[in-house]
Structure 1
């Protein structure tokens, strides 16, 4: 993949067009041919992983200063819509490096922490894993129970995390832990950089999930895990909650874009099927009720694409980094679910069979309404944010 010139994180339109074209070609000519194998083996083939590294996909959203491609969020979402067109396990392989884990370091790490980790994250030498979710603290990080306490100059971490993406292959855990009870100064949540080989870390077996085969998640236990003061991101105990919220909000726009890509694939598969499959001697696309389903699917995809681009623009400009990301994620993930359901309906019994793309998409996109904050949480953020703005007037 063409690497933009070092020295500025502004990727020119020409450079980005080349990056986008190469990613589209990689997705459609390489990865899509392996979708069934990925599903059956529950893993991304090594050849695809190595090609993704060579293309810079493990660091497309990492600043060029630290070895990445330096894409901003408006460019990130265009790439995500291409990545969403195939199995979501592909994007999951390098998603945390670019997104919720990597962006914590980019936005809140010290220079020393960035120097130690970011370049290796950008090349894929290090796989970073975002260890936030717990049994009683999913969409609401303020209620997490993992603790970190001082012992001399070190920190001792104890707790359990669940559904942690890439945990079975992680080299670095970005771990959120409570260092004090919530008080008037904040929620008391800090974030630590914990190498996977640190004594006391136990990674459970891979989760068996409804979909997204090849995207590995697992539980992670921390039992008296000792790390030095240099592990505390930003060198401050009060950064953790803000880092989590900022990283998650940015990630919501990215997930919305992935949803648009998956919905576009489901739509394209449905149009092709409707144009060729016959019922009573004529293509089923000739039936008006099938055309109505396709029309609603197309409308949802186009609306989602426009919404994602607007949310990304508002993020980059600083105009809206709270409500717009939640709006985009809420609409686009729910839309993808409706489109996938309609795609199975158009395919009829064929759409219920394993090995048919729309059957996989139907299962894959269901998770999008859950992680990075459920649809219900997005509604609370949107409604509360609107009322908060009204009260501030």
Structure 2
């Protein structure tokens, strides 16, 4: 294998290892509901991933001058100005707000974001929010860096009679925002200040119409803190919780458990996992396989387990048929990481037969993948789809978790 290719594979392996937490990565053994919790209690400050198997944790370190750095691997927290801060179970912005309280609040000149990293996308979330003043907080969910929907949480003087859906009338205050009813009112008309235990919190559930991997909190007026059960006596029922899509399945390295297929609308893809190119023993990998029929994209995202592994795959993909008079418009593009922002590039042709001289028996020759790429095209076949249309199928090999179109 050439030196440049070795460095590329080493970088890919390092990226896979970066998904791990200590010696552990996402559990592939669970069968329960998949969640990612943000627990900000006096007993622990951490994200916790669970799918019914052994929970996986990502600790949030001790604040330095009340500032925190949260960069994954399960989730990240970012913010405007000098970034996020943590004080007494409340995440805010380091610079503080109009009241001069640093770290614990976000005011109308600031914003705070939570991003999902090595976990599936979320379908809904329950947020433990502490609200101060005449509050209107925009809660925007995004996918791959693109905004999907915006909800608004109101409290106290921020509530306009006759607008929005009212939440519960007694503590603990709860409310649910949906696509059909995106504005919710919390805590009646109380402008309760901070440090009132659960009386100044609202446990808000947001239910967008599509998946998301990021949440942004930005007050229009008043102030907000992101919490996770501190004011509820560390009760995990009031953690900030992201409910995840769950994995499509698990891939091994045998014909019985190593193939994933999707055939949805005009998008088709089948992927078979091969032996690991470095010769390590095969460990089941959870994965997601999804299609966007409108955008004509296909996402194949394997996720590392314990121990992290660099895996190899072969696949066949096809998209909507094209006019037979202009088949040259058929080109296969891919985004190497499928983790946003989306950066499509033409998938290159393999520099040789990937199966003629595999790195190990049952795998592929990773040296035929051009430097700087993680997948390549083995062959291309154009098939007659109708009297006026043809459909191109591409046979591909590679490593990683691409989005294709």
Structure that is richer in strand per residue: 2
**So what's the TM-score if we normalise by structure 2?**
0.26
Larger CA Rg, structure 1 vs 2: 2
TM-score (norm 1): 0.27
